[in-house]
Structure 1
C-alpha cells in the first residue's frame, strides 16, 4: 500500500506539479467555454473542473489522466438547461454519477477490451478536429496582435523542447506571453472576456427541484446519455493514456471514480464531466506520470 502510494503520488513531484500547472492554465478557458455552451454561469464549469479533477485524482483508476467539465457533456445538457434551468442540470448530474457508479460496480470497464484500435484512432482524431475548430473563432478576424501571439506561441511550443526540457514549453509560452501582454498591452482577447469569474469557493447545495416521478421522467434520459458518453470518453481516454505511457490502469475503478466525482460535483454546484483526451495528452507530454499532476491541475 505504501509503495503504491509513493509510486502514484510521490514519483518526480517537480515534473508532475509543473505538468499540472500547464493543464490548469489550459483548462480554465475550456471550462468557461463549456459552461457557455451548456447555457450556465461560467462558475458552474469551473466548480465542476475543480471538484472532478481533485476527486478523480484520488478515486480514479488511471494516474496522470485529467477529468473535468467537458464539451461532450455540455452539448448533451443544453436542451435541459434551456427548458428547465440549472437546478435540473444539477439533479441530472447527481443521477448521472449514480448510474456511472452502478456501472462501475457491475464491472462495465471490462468491455473496453472489445473496442478496436481503429475506433480509438477515430475517436482521438475527431476530438482533435473539434478542438481545432473551437479555436478558430479565437484566432481569426480579431487583430494582427492575435496572429503574432499565436505564431510566437507555436514557435515556443515546438522549438524550445529541442533545446530546453526542464520546464514544459506550453508553460513557458503562457508565462512569457502573458507577461508581455501585461507589460506592453495588445489588442487580444483574454480569458476574462469569455465570462465573469467569481472569487468564491463552491458550497454544498441540494438541487432545488420537486422530488417527484415527473422530475425523474425529465432528467433520466439526459442522465443516461451523460453517464454513457462520459464513461465511453473516460475509458477510451484511459486506454489511450495506457498506450502512451506503456502502463495499465483499472477501468472499473475509473468508472466508479467518475461516478463518485460527478455526484460530488452535483452537490457542489458543478455540471457533469468526464476524462479529457486533449488535456490528458498535454499532461502526459509534459512529463506527468502520477496522480499529483491531476490533483495539482484541479487545485
Structure 2
C-alpha cells in the first residue's frame, strides 16, 4: 500500500476529521503511555517518548491506514523481566534488535506467518498477560510499601502477601475514586475518554484531600522533563547482541502478532485492507529509532486504533497528529503530570487488563472441551507461571502435534471394486468382500494428504490390503492433494516391495503437487510413465489386458464385467481376446 494511496482524494474535510481523531487518541494515549512504562519498570516519560515517536513513524511507514502505535499492555511482563534481568540500557538494545528482526520479516514478506499461530495460543497468552498486568497493579492500588519486583508471578504475589500490612488507605480511596469515575464516564459518555477523566479527577481529589499521603510520579520517579526527547547512542557490540537476541526475538514476535491483529481489527471496522509486510516494516523502523530517544518497544495498539476509527479518522495523518499532540502536551503540562498519584494509574491498567483478557473467547473455547481447550489452558498457565516464550513455544508444539494427529485420522485408504449396477460402474468399497475380490487386481482409493504424520499409516495400510501380492495394484490418487518427501519415500518402498514380488503399481488421477514431487525425486521414472493414468477405468483396462489368464479360469469372484467370460473361456479363447 503506497502512501499516496492511503491519502487518496484528501481534502480539508478529511484533515479536520483526522485532526479531531488524532487529538482524541493523543489525549487517551498519554496516561496509558506513562502507565505502561511504569509497569514495565522504567520511568513514565519513556512511555511518552515511545508514544510520540512510534505514533508518527508507524503511521508514516506502516501498512495500515488507521494503525495507532505505541507502548501496549501486552509488552509489560516481557519488558519488566528484561529490565530486572538485564537493566534499562540493555532493554533499549533488545528493542532495537527487535526492530531489526521486524524489518527483516517485512522485507522477506513473512507477514503471512503470523496467521499460522492458532487462536487458542493467542487467546491463552493474551489472557495470561492480562492476569499479570491486573495482579501487578495491586501494589499501587493498595499503596503497598517496600515492594521488590520479581520476574515470576508467584514471587510477586508472595511480596504482596508479605507487605499487605503496609496498605495505604489514602491510596485505596484514590484508586476507588478513579475506578468509579472511569466506569461511570464510559457508561454515560462513551465518546469521552474515561481513563483521562478518571485520572484527572482522582488526582485532584488526592491533591486536595490527601496531599503528601499518596505516592506520585514525582515522589517515586522524579519530575517528568518538559522537553523533547533527546537523541543518544546505544552501546551495541557483538557480545550484547548475542546476549539479547533471545529477548529481542520475543519482543519482535509479540510485536508482530499484536500489530497485525490490530491491523486486522482495523480492517474489519473500516472496510480497508492492510499490507502485513509493510506493517511489519513500519513497526520495525519505529522500534529501531525509539531506543535512540530512550523509548521502550512499541506495537500496534488495538484499543487506540479502534478509537481512532470510531473518532472518524480518514488516513494515517490522524496517527501522526496523535503523536504531535502528545509532544505538545508533554512540553506544556509535564509538571502537572508529575503530580499524578500511582494509585490513580492502577485502576486504568486494571481495566486495560480486563478489556484485553478475551474472556468471552476464552470461555467459548473452553466450552468446546476439545484439544483447543487443552492448548488454551496450557498456554494461559505457562504465561502466568513461567514466561511468554515458553508458553508460546509449548502451545505451538502441542498445537502442531494435535494437528498432525487430526490430519493422520483423516487419511483414508479403502479397497474398492466397480458396482456394475451403477452408472459408469462407480468404484465402491461395499463391493469388496471375501467372495468378491479379484486375486490379480487390487484397487485402492486414497483420500487425504500423505506427509510425515500419515506416511507410516499409508504404508502399513497399503501393504495390509495388498497382502495377496496382486499382479496389479492400482492406487487412486485423485483425492491426494499433497505428499511430502516422507510420503514419497513410503510410496517408493511400496513400489519396490511389490516389484520384488512381481507386482506392478499403477497410479491414477495424480494431482499437480504429488506429480511434481515424484518427477523431482525420479520416482515417476521408477514407476514408469506407462503406469500413470488419468482415470481409473484406463488403469483397470490396462491391467485386464496384462493379467495371467490361467488364474482366471474357474474364478468365481466376478469382480469385473469381463470376469464371467474370462473364468469360463478356454486358454485359446483368452489368448485370442488378448490379441484383439
In the superposition, the TM-score normalised over structure 1's length comes to 0.77
Q: Whole-Å Cα distance in 2 between the matches of residues 174 and 42 of structure 1? A: 15
Residues 231 and 292 in structure 2, CA contact (< 8 A), matched pair in contact too: yes
3-state SS of paired residue (2:104): helix
Residues 308 and 318 in structure 2, CA contact (< 8 A), matched pair in contact too: yes
> How has the CA–CA distance of structure 1 residues 102 and 32 changed in structure 2, closer, same or farther, with 3 Å as cutoff?
same
Alignment of 1:276 with 2:301, yes or no, is yes
Q: Provide the residue aligned with 1:154 in structure 2.
A: 183
Q: Provide the residue aligned with 1:263 in structure 2.
A: 288
Alignment of 1:110 with 2:112, yes or no, is yes
Q: Whole-Å Cα distance in 1 between the matches of residues 58 and 67 of structure 2? A: 9
1:259 Cα shift? 0.6
Q: Provide the residue aligned with 1:205 in structure 2.
A: 232
Residues 76 and 133 in structure 2, CA contact (< 8 A), matched pair in contact too: no
Q: Provide the residue aligned with 2:242 in structure 1.
A: 217
Q: Provide the residue aligned with 2:258 in structure 1.
A: 233
1:17 Cα shift? 2.1
1:31 Cα shift? 2.5
Give a deviation string over 1:87-118, Cα, whole Å, max 9, x none.
Answer: 33322222221111110011111234445566
Within 5 A, what are the aligned runs for 1:232-251? 232-251=257-276
Q: Provide the residue aligned with 1:14 in structure 2.
A: 20
Deviates more, 1:102-111 or 1:232-241: 232-241
Give a deviation string over 1:248-297, Cα, whole Å, max 9, x none.
Answer: 21111110001100111122222222223344345445555543443343
Q: Whole-Å Cα distance in 2 between the matches of residues 79 and 174 of structure 1? A: 27
Q: Provide the residue aligned with 1:145 in structure 2.
A: 173
Residues 120 and 240 in structure 1, CA contact (< 8 A), matched pair in contact too: no
In the superposition, the TM-score normalised over structure 2's length comes to 0.43
> How has the CA–CA distance of structure 1 residues 48 and 9 changed in structure 2, closer, same or farther, with 3 Å as cutoff?
farther
Question: Aligned pair count?
Answer: 289
Q: Provide the residue aligned with 1:48 in structure 2.
A: 50
> How has the CA–CA distance of structure 1 residues 215 and 169 changed in structure 2, closer, same or farther, with 3 Å as cutoff?
closer
Q: Whole-Å Cα distance in 1 between the matches of residues 307 and 284 of structure 2? A: 24
Choose between structure 1 and 2: higher strand proportion. 2
Within 5 A, what are the aligned runs for 1:29-44? 29-34=35-40, 36=41, 40-44=42-46
Q: Whole-Å Cα distance in 1 between the matches of residues 86 and 125 of structure 2? A: 31
Deviates more, 1:265-274 or 1:139-148: 139-148
1:10 Cα shift? 2.3
Residues 22 and 322 in structure 2, CA contact (< 8 A), matched pair in contact too: no
3-state SS of paired residue (2:299): strand
Q: Provide the residue aligned with 2:65 in structure 1.
A: 63
Residues 67 and 276 in structure 1, CA contact (< 8 A), matched pair in contact too: yes
Residues 157 and 173 in structure 1, CA contact (< 8 A), matched pair in contact too: no
> How has the CA–CA distance of structure 1 residues 250 and 94 changed in structure 2, closer, same or farther, with 3 Å as cutoff?
same
1:65 Cα shift? 2.6
Give a deviation string over 1:135-163, Cα, whole Å, max 9, x none.
Answer: 444445654632234223311221124xx
Q: Provide the residue aligned with 1:28 in structure 2.
A: 34
3-state SS of paired residue (1:154): helix
Residues 28 and 193 in structure 2, CA contact (< 8 A), matched pair in contact too: yes
| RCO higher in structure (CA 8 A, sep ≥6) | 1
> How has the CA–CA distance of structure 1 residues 14 and 83 changed in structure 2, closer, same or farther, with 3 Å as cutoff?
closer
Q: Which runs of no fewer than 5 residues in structure 1 stay unpaired?
A: none
Q: Whole-Å Cα distance in 2 between the matches of residues 238 and 179 of structure 1? A: 37
> How has the CA–CA distance of structure 1 residues 142 and 185 changed in structure 2, closer, same or farther, with 3 Å as cutoff?
closer
Residues 35 and 44 in structure 2, CA contact (< 8 A), matched pair in contact too: no
Within 5 A, what are the aligned runs for 1:87-106? 87-106=89-108
State the Cα RMSD in Å.
3.5
3-state SS of paired residue (1:4): coil
1:57 Cα shift? 1.9
Structure with higher Rg: it is 2
Q: Which runs of no fewer than 5 residues in structure 2 stay unpaired?
A: 143-166, 327-580
Choose between structure 1 and 2: higher helix proportion. 1
Q: Whole-Å Cα distance in 1 between the matches of residues 173 and 283 of structure 2? A: 41
Q: Whole-Å Cα distance in 2 between the matches of residues 122 and 83 of structure 1? A: 25
